[in-house]
Amino acid sequence: MEVLNSFGQLIKGSQIISMYKWEGQLLDGFAKRINTIILAIITVAAILIRLQGMEYVSDDYRLFIEPWFEQLKAAGGLAGLAQPIGDYNIPYLLIMAVLTHLPFPPLFMIKAVSVFFEFVCAITALKLTDMIVDRQSKWISATVYALVLFSPIVLLNGAFWGQCDYIYIAFILLSFYCYHKAHYNNTFIFLGIALAFKQQTLFILPLFILVYLLNRSFSFTRFLWLPIIYLGAGLPAVIAGRPWDDVYLIYVRQTGTYPSLSMNMPNIWRIFSKDQYQTFAVLGIWMVIIVLALMTACLMNKKYRLDGQGFLLMGTIISGLCVMILPAMHERYVALYCLLITIYFMIYERRKFYISLIPNFIALITYLHYLYDLDLVGYYTILAVVNGTVLLYMIVYAFNKIFIKVTADGGSL
């Protein structure tokens, strides 16, 4: 009996050891996959929040996007590309034309496309962060992913507003990612696709000119991808029968659509009267050109090279300069600047992350004004000063790095 009891205890002990071993393996497996689990939870939550806005009908959708969709559908979908419908460029109209052939509600389909590219933005931002930060700091990448998806202005743009700004921004981020990987052909292919979708891609083009002049890491011929892709993007409409000049001059016509210094955007022109557009519009364009030229000359004179941090920092500043100084800026045009400043501070200056919240919060006020009639327009002059102060801080911050940190590092920003 004693032998049997001892044998039974041995079996029981081995079962306990086996159970502990199984639990340990389970916990080890959970620990290894915790980042994936967190990302999955973030993704599901982001989808559920967006579903709450899919039935909301904004004025932009009711007055512009829905009529364009119906006109394309009435003209035969893809065949409708032959007609001068809307004032968006051909790639977005091509997506709409394809959607007219699907048996789903237009509002849902159009918003679903925008939401899809919001997730492309978030995934690309995550991959970009992964490439820069320490592998042990996966939480930073997950946080960037969450910040993009749960940013109020990202949430409102597609699922609620029905707008498409994060389509071109997704391709800009993809170009950033490819640049960091030194895949320069892909860099400019993605940049060309972004330009084909939205004229505001031009806001980031000076960054690539700057990095070409400073780093000389790729040939100027890479820029040829931009006109090649732009021309190719218009071909579906040309083939359908739309006059080529009507297709390829869409962006030229857009520049004269809104003759106002500021379109619900708290930038420097809020201190001027709207009826002074003709006086100051050209001045604003030249101001941007001069500031960018001075920054470029300064960097070239010191023979600096832009490293990954400098690339993202200068991209943030350049996009901010454009929306703060150029005329006829809509509130949505600040989306790229807000996204880049958020990613920059999360990756490189987390102690100062609060600075990135300021332009994002001001952008949210302007979004809520358009979508839900939140009337704080009387404070736009103050908000413009705050916006300008943040941008000025970013410029001073960058030049401190140029003249202090960079000197110690041997000429790289």
- Please, is 115 exposed, middle or buried when counting C-beta atoms within 10 Å of its C-beta (0-12, 13-18, 19+)? buried
Structure confidence at residue 254 as a pLDDT band (50, 70, 90):
confident
Domain extents in the chain: 33-257, 258-413
pLDDT of residue 26: 47
Q: Give the span between the Cα atoms of 39 and 48, in whole angstroms.
A: 14
Beta bridge pairs of residue 305: 412
Predicted local confidence at residue 300, as pLDDT:
86
Residue 261's pLDDT is 84
pLDDT tens for residues 377-387? Answer: 889 999 999 99
**Residues 112, 72: Cα–Cα separation, whole Å:** 18
Q: CA 145 → CA 248, 256, 318, distances in Å?
A: 36, 37, 23
- Going by DSSP bridges, is the β-strand pair 262-263/329-330 parallel, antiparallel, or unpaired? parallel
Q: Which of 161, 194, 121, 134 has the alpha carbon at shortest distance from 342?
A: 121
Say what angle helices 90-99 and 225-240 make with each other, to 10 degrees: 40
pLDDT above 70 covers a percentage of the chain that reads 88
Q: How confident is the model at residue 405 (pLDDT cuts 50, 70, 90)?
A: low
256 — pLDDT class (breaks 50, 70, 90):
confident
- Angle between helix 277-301 and 205-215 (nearest 10): 20
Residue 84 above 60 pLDDT? yes
CB atoms within 10 A of CB 138: 18
How far apart, in whole angstroms, are the C-alpha atoms of residue 315 and residue 321?
Answer: 10
pLDDT at 18 over 70: no
| Tokens encoding 269 | 């022109």
Compute the distance between CA of residue 387 and CA of residue 141 in angstroms, rounded to an integer: 27
CA angle, residues 212, 216, 222, in degrees to nearest 5: 55
Residue 77: what pLDDT?
93
Structure tokens at 351: 């102690």
pLDDT category of residue 30 using cuts at 50, 70 and 90: very low
Number of other CB atoms surrounding residue 295 within 10 Å? 20
pLDDT tens figures, 193-230: 999 999 999 999 999 999 999 999 999 999 999 999 99
| pLDDT computed for residue 25 by the predictor | 53
By mean pLDDT, which of 14-28, 37-51, 109-123, 175-189 is the weakest?
Answer: 14-28
Looking at per-residue pLDDT, the higher value among 367 and 139 belongs to 367
Chain mean position to CA 196:
15
